[in-house]
Structure 1
Amino acid sequence: MFLFHEFQQNKFILTDKKGEVISSFDQPGDAPSSYGNTACAATFVGDSIVVMGQQKVVIYDLNFDFIKSHQKPYAGKGMLYSGYNHLQNTYIDDEINLVAFTGGPQHPAATNQEAYYNHFNTFDLISLDSGGFVPITPLHPKSRYKQGKAFNFIRPLFQVNEDKIHFIFASDTLFHTHDLSKAENGLTVEGIPFDDFILNPGYPFGGSEDYDTPKPRKGEVKSYFKVDEKDLILYQSGLSLENTPLRGTTSREEWNKINARLNPLKFLVREAEGEYSKVGLCTTNFTPTHVDGKNRLWARQHVELLDQEPEFYTIYQVALVPQ
């Protein structure tokens, strides 16, 4: 089965593998059985669907009939992310739990305060039975976010495999592994050998990000997937200030084409611990979006590149093939 979310209508659609609709959910955000006005993430857990809203996690059966919900015990703040794979399953003591990125740590400090980074938790571990939201995965001592500067919009791209969380921060060059089975020293890091990656230097504690001064376009990890014991990393290196095309000199469409050519989507494959492939350029026909529970990699068609809108939305099952 496939679970789709239509963002503008805030509607879920469950289909079979042929694309036939099985059930759907489009109740108002203030309905008692709703997850709210925004679905931040969703996943399958056995024969149920779990949706993470801004303030609670809701469990439905496959007909979207309400089963139960768990309220988040702290107020949401910072960026609200939707459309990312920010809710994934793991097993702790033979019990299914959820690893979630909720948009920021549980600590109330602001992003320009040192306490924010000292108390940062990358993920919450959510028990489907008790509903507890346990903060896990602090920043590693080698993290660039622990070096005395402030940053906005710290977001991980992650995948959970059994009791291990593998992740990369979108604007970072470290590959992280958090072994949940280890009470101590469970978080390890290694450097990713990008060909080039422009880093945002951050700003002083107590200050604010300078959005007015022109500066280089930072590098960004766009996607991360673990496939067949290999790690697929999709990223853009960024653009130096002198190579960034000026806004207003061309149409928006032409400006986007120039940027895509100058700052293309690339990939790296982590073959094993500390071993990486050469950098390659990604295809422009589709973009990988998800790895399922059977280790299959799925991708979406780039509908925007077609001359006319197709009658059907196409998704692909793709494979990572050495060349």
Structure 2
Amino acid sequence: MPAWTSGAAWFDAVMDALRTPEGEELRRRAKVAPDTLLRIAHADMLAADADTGRGVSTAHETVAEAIRVCKKTVQRARGLLEALGLAVSIVEGRYLTVAERKAALSAHGGRQIKAASVRALTMPRRWAVENVHLPRRGDLDVKTPDLEIKPTRANARQSDASRPPAKTKRSTRSRSPKSDQPRSIGVQRFAAGLVARMRWLADGRHIGQVCAMLERCEVDPDRWTIDAFMDALATGNKRAGFTVAEPGGQRDPVAYLGWQIRNAIDPNEPTPAEEARLRAVQTRAEQDARRREREVEEERWASRDQAAIDEAIAAMHEAHKAWERSRRPGRGGAA
């Protein structure tokens, strides 16, 4: 895919393409005025990555509002740029799946139901100097891992339930000595949440046993939600190839759950919520960097003499009028 050499070179290529008979014919069919097309092209140029011309994800409505035209005009203008070989759609806009909407909410905290189209601004091949391979449409996919835990056969339940706790490498955090202080409300609520999911944990036992097991396994309720904890436990068991015994085959469900936690969850690894916050920070940092790049580019363009741009548009209008006069019958050779 021919990448641009610079935003200024690409914008010059747009004006050059409009001066050709083919470009003029395509523009007339698209029903877009030359100056309108140039302003839309300029908006896309500012939204693109400064080095490659990729990453234009502004919606038609956003550009239309910025330059005060209708959405359909922006859509036709962008289609014209593609027809001229000056742009290409990499990923088509679409509605997000339920899982993707949840991921977007975790990433940036906002409600998002659609993914915008992603475009790349390209140079016609006679101006291109580098072939950059861009992803094909449809290559971006979000897959949800299978977290299903299958029950074991009846003859394997007893051996699984009676398996002694394995010695594993635990957290380097120092354990706090026992004290007579009551357990935190967070631990008690987390234990109650687990019992609500696995009612057999409290079968004939005090919930304090579940709290004690969580403390021994260094489960921090401030870092986990019940849903995320259950998903992490299921994923860890599956990764280890471990099949969970059914409740009836567990001689000591609380100890059995503690053994699973020690083998499936590393307390030193970030939780899904922490990973989501880290991704959100990284995303904001990337967005800030791109915004700063756009601001620098906008300042550079703003520093250029606006009269030069107006002069280029006026010259293009005059060239177009001269071209139309030359096509009128009996006028080509008039003195």
The TM-score normalised by the length of structure 2 is: 0.18
**Which structure exhibits the higher relative contact order, with contacts defined as CA atoms closer than 8 Å and separated by 6 or more residues?**
2
Larger strand share, 1 or 2: 1
Which has more helix, going by share of residues? Answer: 2
Between structure 1 and structure 2, the one with the greater Rg is 2
